[in-house]
Amino acid sequence: MSNGDFQALVPRELVNKSNLRQNHYSISLINEGLRTRLLHRQEAYLIQTELVLIVQELIRRYTRGDSSSVAVETAERLFTSMLYALDMQMRSYERPEVALTALKSQDTRNLYKTGVERVRQCFEETRLLYYEIRRTKLDVPVDAYNTTIDESLPALLLSINTALCLTRITRWRVSTTLSQSMTYRYTAFYI
Amino acid sequence: MFPSRMWKGLVTQTQDQALTELLTINETIRAYGLVLTPHDVKHLISARNEALHNYGRIEFGFDVSRRLIEEFAPSPYIDAENFVSVLHELHDIFYYFKNETEDDISDATLIDIMRDRFNGHCAGSVDLLKSSLEAYAKNFRKELHQDELFAHGGDDE
């Protein structure tokens, strides 16, 4: 029996869900995978490298290929957006262990793309909810209520749509995090 | 929180490649009597990293360094003695003005403007180049904000 076979027989601890963070779920999942040895250091490194390459591609799209550098804040926003989409996909799995297996066995870029699609669907639902709110809007003289529905929400909706369509950005500085889509969704429900 | 370790790993990896890549430019600049030693290139990379850090920017690849070397090597105000020190300052100027022009100007355009002014009315003075670009950036921002104002006005209509 080789050393590798012996290691495979060692029982592995399952993921402790309390160690998984709501914010940056995928990163905490990778850390938890390393702790429980469900993920090898080399596998984690490869996933991280893939994530950096995705951000690199987002930066290229953001600058339309005209600039090789961006402000740290912009890189952070794009990174957070990317992680948000990946988190959407990772959370969709039944159990964290299954999500880890997907991270190990599937192309990280594809997982990210599927996550973006999930965010897009969520955005579409949000958009429909907004139209419903507009349709049923009360005729009351309350500034905060009217401004939120008539001005703030459409502006937010537009900025999220822009973030979702990075390839179609017309102004460099128009960008936002995808995480705002959830904020918007909650806001829509709240109203 | 931004996982800086992830960037650091990739950046370190690319810097080793950059050293080899930037040294190949010697084949081009030798025609102007200029040569970059591995020591010079390492210092240039440090200057570039320091400028990026100082101005809060992140960059993938070394295209800017390569272009600065290629575009300024033929300058009549550059010689073997001042080449490396001028390049250090040009890196600093470049990233500073990327911020000052609010990321709304391409790398190629900014380098072209820097080169034309350096070779033109600045007559090889880095200090004059800075002052000249300050004025340029001020006008650039003014026009940019005016455009935005009109664009927003158009949306409202």
Q: Would you call B2 an interface residue with chain A, using a CB distance cutoff of 8 Å?
A: yes
Inter-chain CB pairs, A–B, below 8 Å: 64
Rg, Å, chain B Cα set: 18
CB A78 within 8 A of CB A176: no
Give the pLDDT of residue A128.
Answer: 93
B99-155: pLDDT as tens digits: 999 888 999 999 999 999 999 999 999 999 999 999 999 999 888 877 766 665 544
CB A62 within 8 A of CB A78: yes
Half-sphere exposure of A149 (CA within 13 A, CB side): 20
ipTM: 0.81
Give the pLDDT of residue A23.
Answer: 81
Cβ–Cβ of B58/A66 closer than 8 Å? no
pLDDT at residue B97 above 60?
yes
pLDDT at residue B65 above 80?
yes
Nearest by CB to A72, from B58, B61, B98: name it.
B58
Total number of residues shown for chain B:
157
Split at pLDDT 50, 70, 90, the class of B2 is very low
Cβ–Cβ of B56/A73 closer than 8 Å? yes
B8-52: pLDDT as tens digits: 655 555 677 888 889 999 999 999 999 999 999 999 999 999 999
CB B88 within 8 A of CB B47: yes
Any bridge partners for residue A70, and if so which? B58
Total number of residues shown for chain A:
191
DSSP string, A76-88: HHHHHHHHHHHHH
Give the pLDDT of residue A74.
Answer: 87
Nearest by CB to A69, from B6, B10, B95: name it.
B95
Which residue of chain B is at minimal alpha-carbon distance from A170? Answer: B104
Cβ–Cβ of B107/A79 closer than 8 Å? no
Give the pLDDT of residue A165.
Answer: 65
Helix ranges, chain B (H) = 4-23, 26-29, 38-54, 63-72, 83-100, 107-119, 126-156
Mean pLDDT in order along chain A per 10 residues (191 residues): 49 77 89 92 90 87 88 87 92 92 94 92 91 94 94 85 53 38 34 24
Q: Which of A6, A109, A49, A172 is nearest to B107 (CA)?
A: A172
Min distance B28 CA to chain A CA atoms (Å): 22
Report the distance separating Cα A3 and Cα A1, nearest Å. 7
